[in-house]
Structure 1
Amino acid sequence: MPFEAPLLPGILIRRYKRFLADILLDDGRELVLHCPNTGSMKNCAQPGSRVWVDIQNKPGRKLPGTWELVEVAPGQLACIHSARANRVMAAALKAGLIPPLAGFAVQRPEVKLPEGLSRFDFLLSEPGECVVEVKSVTLALGDGLGAFPDAVSLRGQKHLLELIEVVASGRRACLLFCVMHSAITHVRPADEIDPVYGACLREAAAAGVEIIAWSIKPTPAGLQVLGQLPVNLSPARADRC
């Protein structure tokens, strides 16, 4: 999945107010750009990091571009644009690149179910139905380990409890971790950051919600779909949702 336009390299000066980043481009321009990530971006927003950005001076835009990638360690890249997770997963699902979720004829994005639950990322149907919620993983803890979330996520907890309701209604439900960090080889819940989320994730798995993780390789040229990664759901100390 290539980027819409060539990315420009630069250096991160700072990220602030959640959605803003000061970036010094290699061509000498210092710009305030959009930071498209609502999380803490733990380990992905170190000042001085090498970054790649999308500069598009479109009419009506308040900022001239968007921060896309960061080099978190030599040769290790992460895509911090969290909305990219849904876009690349949509393309991968359509192309049948995620075997556990292949074989559906219809793919609908941003679906709100009749029961009045949250809006979910995808509803796959024909044959049957499968509700899919995608979460972007960029928090690397070392030795190939990735974790989610990178900050307390009340919304994420709510999604898991509602996915349990989906399974109880007779549908399939899947929590799909989209791992957009080149150094992550396996994933677990970040119990040290949000123990309630970890407990909810284990409860969801026990109730029949499918928990899978898929590796996406970020490069300045685009995002490449790789393959499935292991998810470790070993119990933590505080294991009640």
Structure 2
Amino acid sequence: MRIENKILVAKFIRRPNRFQGYVLMEGKEELVHVPNTGRCKEILIEGCNVILREENNPTRKTKYDLIAAYKGEKLINIDSQIPNKVVEEALKNGKILSLKKYNNICREKTFGNSRFDFKLSNDEGEEYYLEVKGVTLEDDGVARFPDAPTERGCKHLLELVEVKRTNRGAGVLFLMQMDNIKRFSPNDITDAKFGEALRFAKLNGVDVFAYECNIEESLIELTKEVKIEM
């Protein structure tokens, strides 16, 4: 998907809380919105180049969203709203081969006590629930999730197991918001319970996908599958 809003480059200064950051633009300090509740400590380092998306909304307190940052030479998108949009585009274009048979794509559908990112179906009456997790944590080409403990993430995985038990399809897709990834693994050091839940879900028939993205300052799109090690 192409980002249509105006894109600017700035220098990152600091992040006083989860949703706010300060950047240096044209010699002046500017308050921006950070659309990611994760830690991103290995990405948002003082002095790094960050990508801002201009938001012309008069009701907002900030004019810009901080949507990506350069970690050395690697550009990483950190906008938590992006993964679902990227995956929806990929589903519509048939780029996720295992799910290509589903021609009806619905966003934000509830099953049991969870709201999943997608409910897929086809004209034969088959149904599939898909949860998407954006991944920004990377070290030497190895991507991991999560970057902070997530009880909600564990709950989603266990609910996907319940979906499978009703003879529906179920899967979780980890979207690396970056390119050139060697492999993906659950981040057991940060959240061992999530890793356990992911392995349990896979053992009980839940599909586990991992894809990386082609990413530019004003573009991000799903490209190829990434090897998974659990």
**Range of TM-score over shorter length:** over 0.9
**Which residue does the alignment assign to 1:129?**
127
Q: Which amino acid aligns with 1:122?
A: F
Determine the C-alpha separation between the residues in 1 that align with 2:55 and 2:153: 32
**Which residue does the alignment assign to 1:5?**
5
Determine the C-alpha separation between the residues in 2 that align with 1:125 and 1:56: 35
CA shift, 1:181, in A, is 1.9
**Which residue does the alignment assign to 1:174?**
171
**Which residue does the alignment assign to 2:40?**
41
CA shift, 1:65, in A, is 1.2
CA shift, 1:221, in A, is 2.3
CA shift, 1:15, in A, is 1.4
Q: Does the CA contact (< 8 Å) of 2:180 and 2:212 recur in 1?
A: no
Structure 2 residue ranges without an equivalent (≥5)? none
Cα RMSD for the two superposed structures: 1.2
Determine the C-alpha separation between the residues in 2 that align with 1:17 and 1:50: 19
Asked if 1:100 corresponds to 2:123, the answer is: no
User: Which of 113, 120, 142 is matched with 2:116 structurally?
Assistant: 120
TM normalised by structure 1 equals 0.91
CA shift, 1:57, in A, is 2.9
TM-aligned CA distance change 1:42 to 1:201, over 3 Å: farther
Determine the C-alpha separation between the residues in 2 that align with 1:187 and 1:202: 13
- Give the 5 Å matches for 1:39-118: 39-73=38-72, 75-113=73-111, 116-118=112-114
Structure 1 residue ranges without an equivalent (≥5)? 234-241
Report SS of the residue matched to 1:67.
Answer: strand
Asked if 1:200 corresponds to 2:197, the answer is: yes
Q: Does the CA contact (< 8 Å) of 1:42 and 1:150 recur in 2?
A: no
Structure 1 range deviating more: 171-180 or 52-61: 52-61
Q: Does the CA contact (< 8 Å) of 1:42 and 1:139 recur in 2?
A: no
**Which residue does the alignment assign to 1:237?**
none
**Paired residues, what number?**
228
Cα deviation, 1:141-171, whole Å, max 9, x if unaligned, reads: 22x1000000000100110111111111111
Determine the C-alpha separation between the residues in 1 that align with 2:75 and 2:227: 20
- Give the 5 Å matches for 1:157-236: 157-233=154-230
CA shift, 1:183, in A, is 4.0
Asked if 1:156 corresponds to 2:160, the answer is: no
Cα deviation, 1:21-71, whole Å, max 9, x if unaligned, reads: 10112x334211110001111411111111110122322112111001100
TM normalised by structure 2 equals 0.96
